[in-house]
């Protein structure tokens, strides 16, 4: 696994542990022997010719989930998020599952990083809510969630910062950013990590013209007034958190907004984090409460909260 020597080792270790949207060291990519490509032709012109990277096992997993929830069209999406996420507990963790030679839609339900776990659960839950879920609908939902304009059009079309993910999917009415209404305060971070560390990204190293596009995106993100719940205020806010909420864990690392993401579950009247854990090497529900989880991770400063709609 090739790591840029310009960054401190501890920082690289943290960044390797989670997001397929934030920083991505580029060694752990999709193995050639498990790639199958197919074209999805839909009436939506954005879907015509979309390349999907997946295996037959992914389709089988989807079929199993859709069969289990065949009568759950009226189930609240918050409940579906927890049930679908729980279905995947024990699934192997793999960093940077979205990274390939070219930008194609990756459907990998056999292993997750933290972001692909959340995105997959949300796309599956939304498909179930339709009442007539199938693989093509799931693919359509995943593209809407993962890409700025709902279209796979190169590396910069994917949403790379999770605060931007929340903002974009809030605008699409896929989730609602509830950070303000539950007691959030302005987030002080400046987003510029990708453009200032292009050597950590294979795509930016291969095509330096993309750095300027990423920098423009970062400037737009940084110009927004974003809100978060500081770690010190989490206990007061916990009663307003709901099962199925999506949380991004904000970080004090310069240039980054969010370093880890997961789905909230309530156990014994306390909120816990269900997530693809780099430490456990699988999808788990953390034994420690969310409050304890944040306190035990020194670089984490708080949370941003998105509620699926």
Say yes or no to pLDDT of 83 above 70.
Answer: yes
Please state, as a whole number, how many other Cβ atoms lie within 10 Å of the Cβ of residue 76: 15
Token pair listed for 148: 């700025």
What's the pLDDT band for 118 if we cut at 50, 70, 90?
A: very high
Flag whether 1 is in a domain.
no
Flag whether 207 is in a domain.
yes
> 3-state class of 201 per DSSP?
coil
Closest by alpha carbon to 159, among 7, 9, 306?
306
Average pLDDT, the chain: 88
What pLDDT score was predicted for residue 24?
45
What pLDDT score was predicted for residue 48?
56
47-78 tens-digit pLDDT: 556 789 999 999 999 999 999 999 999 999 99
Whichever domain contains 216, its CATH number is 1.10.3670.10
What's the pLDDT band for 99 if we cut at 50, 70, 90?
A: confident
What's the pLDDT band for 238 if we cut at 50, 70, 90?
A: very high
- Max CA pair span of the chain: 53
What pLDDT score was predicted for residue 101?
81
What DSSP letter does each residue of 196-228 carry, written as one string?
H-GGG-HHHHH-THHHHHHHHHHHHHHHS--EE
Flag whether 97 is in a domain.
yes
Residue 71: domain span: 9-308
151-169 tens-digit pLDDT: 999 999 999 999 999 999 9
Flag whether 82 is in a domain.
yes
Flag whether 3 is in a domain.
no
What pLDDT score was predicted for residue 189?
85
pTM, rounded to two decimals? 0.88
H/E segment holding residue 304: strand 300-308
> 3-state class of 196 per DSSP?
helix
Of 8-12, 138-142, 288-292, the range with the lowest mean pLDDT is 8-12
Flag whether 32 is in a domain.
yes
176-218 tens-digit pLDDT: 999 999 999 999 989 999 999 999 998 999 999 999 999 999 9
Flag whether 189 is in a domain.
yes
CA distance 29 to 163: 24
Closest by alpha carbon to 24, among 103, 87, 126, 108?
103
Query: Exposure pattern of 77-93 as b/e (b: 16+ CB <10 Å)?
Result: bbebbbbbbebbeebeb
Q: How many domains does the chain have?
A: 1
Flag whether 2 is in a domain.
no
Which residue has better confidence, 90 or 17? 90
What's the pLDDT band for 46 if we cut at 50, 70, 90?
A: low
8-26 tens-digit pLDDT: 434 443 444 464 444 444 3
What's the pLDDT band for 232 if we cut at 50, 70, 90?
A: very high
């Amino acid at each position: 696994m090739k790591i840029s020597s310009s960054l401190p080792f501890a920082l690289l270790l943290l960044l390797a542990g989670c997001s397929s949207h934030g920083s991505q060291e580029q060694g752990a990519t999709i193995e050639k022997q498990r790639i199958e490509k197919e074209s999805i032709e839909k009436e939506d012109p954005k879907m015509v010719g979309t390349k999907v990277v997946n295996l037959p096992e992914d389709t089988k997993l989807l079929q199993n989930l859709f069969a289990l929830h065949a009568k759950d069209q009226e189930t609240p999406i918050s409940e579906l998020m927890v049930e679908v996420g729980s279905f995947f507990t024990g699934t192997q963790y793999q960093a940077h599952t979205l990274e390939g030679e070219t930008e194609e839609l990756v459907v990998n339900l056999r292993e997750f990083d933290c972001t692909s776990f959340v995105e997959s659960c949300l796309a599956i839950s939304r498909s179930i809510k339709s009442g007539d879920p199938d693989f093509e609908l799931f693919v359509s939902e995943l593209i809407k969630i993962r890409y700025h304009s709902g279209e796979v059009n190169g590396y910069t079309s994917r949403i790379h910062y999770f605060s931007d993910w929340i903002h974009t999917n809030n605008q699409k009415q896929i989730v609602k950013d509830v950070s303000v209404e539950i007691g959030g305060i302005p987030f002080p971070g400046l987003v510029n990590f990708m453009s200032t560390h292009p050597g950590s990204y294979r795509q930016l190293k291969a095509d330096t013209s993309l750095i300027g596009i990423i920098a423009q995106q970062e400037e737009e993100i940084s110009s927004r007034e974003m809100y978060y719940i500081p770690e010190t205020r989490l206990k007061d806010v916990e009663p307003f958190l709901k099962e199925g909420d999506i949380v991004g864990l904000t970080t004090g690392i310069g240039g980054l907004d969010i370093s880890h993401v997961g789905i909230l579950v309530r156990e014994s009247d306390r909120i816990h984090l269900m997530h693809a854990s780099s430490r456990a090497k699988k999808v788990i529900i953390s034994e420690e409460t969310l409050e304890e989880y944040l306190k035990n991770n020194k670089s984490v400063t708080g949370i941003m909260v998105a509620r699926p709609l």
